[in-house]
Amino acid sequence: MPARPLIDLHAHSTASDGTLGPAELVRAAADAGLDVVAITDHDTTAGWAAAVDALPAGLGLVRGAELSCRWQGAQPALPLHLLAYLFDPEHPELVAELARVRRAREARGERIVELLRADGIDVSWPEIMAAADGGTVGRPHIAAALIRTGLVATTTEAFGPQWLGQRYRLPKEDIDVFRAVALVRAAGGVPVFAHPRASRRGRIVPDSLIAELAAAGLAGLEADHEDHTPAEAAHVRGLAADLGLLVTGSSDFHGSHKTVRLGAHTTAPEAYERIVAASSGVTGVASG
Ligand code: AMP
Ligand code: FE
Ligand code: FE
Ligand code: ZN
């Protein structure tokens, strides 16, 4: 690897709400000049095998996932995302929890579509499921259906308060975040809190929760992310330093579902080495 490798530890494929297949994703990562990329689809490891098979020479692949979690300490419970790296994809309890969350996402997506249809909006759940093509279904898939109706022009508009951001937003049955941290560690993986201060996405958790999670096994915080202002990223870095957590930066690439490009934010090699060292090694970094 070069002296300052380019490392992007958060990217989605069609195994969830990205628009590039896992094979296309790793090729795009190489084309973008990355040395290491992580595949982190929502609540699934379904894209791992195809990404490994297509891995271009010289690219490292961190197999991961982004777990849909919630913190019960707020009223109503607060949703948050936990990146999990290099865990055993066959750990029975984790596998069961991910399957449960994916089923709950389908039930919730269908209910959102029912609400839209009750208001005369012509979106179809079978069509949305067909478009998701077996990937973890989420609001971006419903956003794409709204764009097809012509009622909104962009994903960003579809996430506005009058659409999926508020009026037609329903909660998911996410994993309790303390259970998620424990399960990821039990599976030999490394948990990192994704975009913890992204206030533009909605409510954010208090720093006291992050301190509790650090004591419970959280390894790191994602600081550099397009949904953080420079001040928010700086706050996250300060918190990580106080709590002894590692810091990452990543694009959270979703293909054409978002405008951000691969490598738009990157992780320092020292933090990456800490992640690799903290994993049990059952799932190592794959190399092309
Ligand atoms: P869900 O997991 O179904 O609740 O949908 C959340 C996903 O929607 C996130 O993982 C992002 O990929 C995407 N998302 C959330 N907010 C926005 C936004 N404002 N614009 C575009 N995509 C968004
Ligand atoms: Fe997403
Ligand atoms: Fe996320
Ligand atoms: Zn993500």
Q: Which tens digit of pLDDT belongs to each residue from 199-230?
A: 888 899 999 999 999 999 999 999 999 999 99
83 C-alpha to ligand 3 centroid (Å): 8
Query: What is the average pLDDT score of the chain?
Result: 97
Closest approach atom of ligand 1 to CA 138:
3
Residues 61-73 pLDDT 10s: 999 999 999 999 9
CA 255 to chain CA mean position, Å:
13
Query: How far apart (Å, rounded) are the C-alpha atoms in residues 135 and 99?
Result: 12
Residues 14-35 pLDDT 10s: 999 999 999 999 999 999 999 9
Residues 166-201 pLDDT 10s: 999 999 899 999 999 999 999 999 999 999 999 888
Look at residue 78 in the predicted model and tell me its pLDDT: 95
53 C-alpha to ligand 1 centroid (Å): 28
- Minimum-distance ligand to the CA of 193? 3
pLDDT band at 2 (very low <50, low <70, confident <90, very high): confident
The rounded percent of the chain whose pLDDT value lies above 70 is: 100
Closest approach atom of ligand 1 to CA 139:
3
Look at residue 1 in the predicted model and tell me its pLDDT: 74
The reply to whether ligand 1 has any atom less than 6 angstroms from the CB of 16 is no
Residue identified by tokens 């533009």 is 200
Ligand 1 pocket, mutate which of 17, 157, 204 (most atoms under 8 A from CB): 17
